[in-house]
A and B are shown apart, each in its own frame.
Chain A
Amino acid sequence: MLLVHYLRERLGKTGTVVGCDTSNCGACTVHLDGHSVKACSVLAVQADGHEVTTIEGLARDGQLHPVQRAFQENHALQCGFCTPGMIMQAIDLLADNPEPDEHAVRDGLEGNLCRCTGYQNIVQAVLDAARQMSPGAGPDRERRGSARAPDGAPATPTASTVGGGE
Chain B
Amino acid sequence: MTATAEPEVGRARLRKEDARLITGRTRWTDNISLPGMLHLAIVRSPVAHARIVRVDTVAARDKPGVVAVFTGADLAAEQGSLPCAWPVTEDMKAPPHPAIAVDTVNFAGEAVAVVVARSAYAAADALEAIEVDYEDLPVVLDMEAALAEGADLVHPDLGTNRSALWVFDSADAGTGGNVEDAIGSAEVVVKRRFRQQRLIPAFMEPRSVVVDPTGEQLVIWSATQIPHVLRVMLALTLSIPEHKLRVIAPDVGGGFGGKLQVTPEEVVTLLCARRLGKPVKYTESRTDSLQSAHHGRDQIQDITIAATRDGRVTGLRVDLLADMGAYLGLVTPGVPILGAFMYNAIYKIPAYRFACTNVFTNKMYTDAYRGAGRPEATFAIERIMDELAVELGMDPLELRRKNWITHEEFPFTTVAGLVYDSGNYEAATDRAVELFDYAGLRREQQQRRQRGDVVQLGIGISTYTEMCGLAPSRVLGALSYGAGGWEYASIRMLPTGKVEVITGSSPHGQGHETAWSQIIADRLGVPFDDVEVLHGDTQISHKGMDTYGSRSLTVGAIAALQAADKVIEKARRIAAHMLECDEGDLDFSAGSFTVRGTQSSKSIQEIALATFAAHDLPDGVEASLDSDATFDPENFSFPHGTHLCAAEVDTETGHVRLRSYVAVDDVGKVINPMIVDGQVHGGLAQGIAQALYEEAVHDENGTLLTSTMADYLLPSAADLPKFITDRTETPATSNPLGVKGVGEAGTIASTPAVVNAVLDAVRHLGVTDIEMPCTPRRVWTAVHGVADHAPDAPGPGGGLGSLDSTQAQGGNQ
Contact of A19 with B204 in the complex, beta carbons under 8 Å: yes
13 more CB-based (< 8 A) A-B contacts, given A55-B24, A56-B23, A115-B714: A21-B285, A27-B204, A75-B674, A78-B254, A79-B203, A80-B20, A81-B254, A83-B21, A112-B717, A113-B204, A116-B509, A116-B678, A121-B681
Complex-state Cα separation, A100 to B76, whole angstroms? 58
Inter-subunit contact A117/B254 (CB<8 Å) = no
Contact with A along B648-681 (1 / 0, CB 8 A): 0000000000000000000000000011011101
Residue with the highest number of chain B CB atoms closer than 10 Å, among A1, A55, A75, A123: A75
**Contact (Cβ within 8 A) A21 B682:** no
A69-85 Cβ-contact flags toward B at 8 Å (1 or 0): 00111010111111110
Render A95-122 as a binary contact track against B, CB cut-off 8 A, 1 for contact: 0000000100111011111111111111
Interface contact A17-B205, CB-CB below 8 Å = yes
A120 in contact with B723 (CB, 8 Å): yes
CA distance A79 to B15 in the complex (A): 11
The one of A56, A72, A110, A123 that contacts B24, using a Cβ cutoff of 8 Å: A56
Complex contact A118–B723 (CB within 8 A): yes
CB pair A22 B15 closer than 8 Å: no
Cβ contact within 8 Å between B205 and A81: yes
Among A8-16, A135-143, A148-156, which stretch is in contact with chain B? A8-16
B546 to chain A, nearest CB (A): 15
For the complex, is A59 an interface residue (Cβ under 8 Å from B)?
Answer: yes
User: What's the Cα separation between A27 and B289 when bound, in Å?
Assistant: 16
A146, CB-defined interface residue at 8 Å: no
Asked if A54 is at the interface of the complex by the 8 Å CB criterion, the answer is yes
Give the complex CA separation of A107 and B720 in angstroms: 11
Q: Give chain B residues whose Cβ lies under 8 Å from the Cβ of A1.
A: 121
Could you write out 25 A-B pairs with CB less than 8 Å apart? Answer: A5-B121, A9-B33, A14-B28, A17-B253, A22-B801, A24-B708, A24-B710, A59-B23, A78-B678, A79-B204, A80-B17, A80-B26, A81-B28, A84-B24, A102-B722, A105-B717, A106-B720, A110-B716, A113-B714, A115-B685, A115-B686, A116-B682, A118-B681, A121-B678, A123-B717
What is the interface size of chain A, counting residues whose CB is below 8 A from a CB of the partner?
56
Q: Which residues of B contact A25 (CB under 8 A)?
A: 204, 286, 709
8 Å CB interface, B711-760 against A: 714, 716-718, 720, 722-723, 746
B287 at the interface (CB under 8 A from A): yes
Whether B22 contacts A72 by the Cβ 8 Å rule is: yes
Q: Whole-angstrom distance between the alpha carbons of A115 and B256 in the complex?
A: 9
**Is B684's beta carbon under 8 Å from chain A?**
yes
Give chain B residues whose Cβ lies under 8 Å from the Cβ of A112. Answer: 716-717
Q: List the interface of chain B (C-beta within 8 A of A).
A: 14-15, 17-26, 28, 30-31, 33, 120-121, 202-206, 251-254, 256, 285-287, 508-511, 674-675, 677-679, 681-686, 708-710, 714, 716-718, 720, 722-723, 746, 800-801
When chains A and B are docked, how far (Å) is the Cα of A5 from the Cα of B253? 19
Is A72 within 8 A of B14, CB to CB?
yes
A18 in the interface (beta carbon within 8 A): yes
Task: Point out the residue from B17, B511, B717, B723 that lies within 8 Å of A106, measured CB to CB.
Answer: B717
A58 to B677, CA, bound (A): 28
Partner of B509, one of A5, A22, A56, A79: A79
Measured CB to CB, the closest approach of chain B to A4, in angstroms, equals: 11
A116 CA to B252 CA, complexed, in Å: 12
- Residue A87, interface by CB 8 Å: yes
Expressed in whole angstroms, the minimum distance between the Cβ of B173 and any Cβ of chain A is: 38
Question: In A1-48, which residues have CB < 8 Å from any B CB?
Answer: 1, 5, 8-9, 13-22, 24-25, 27
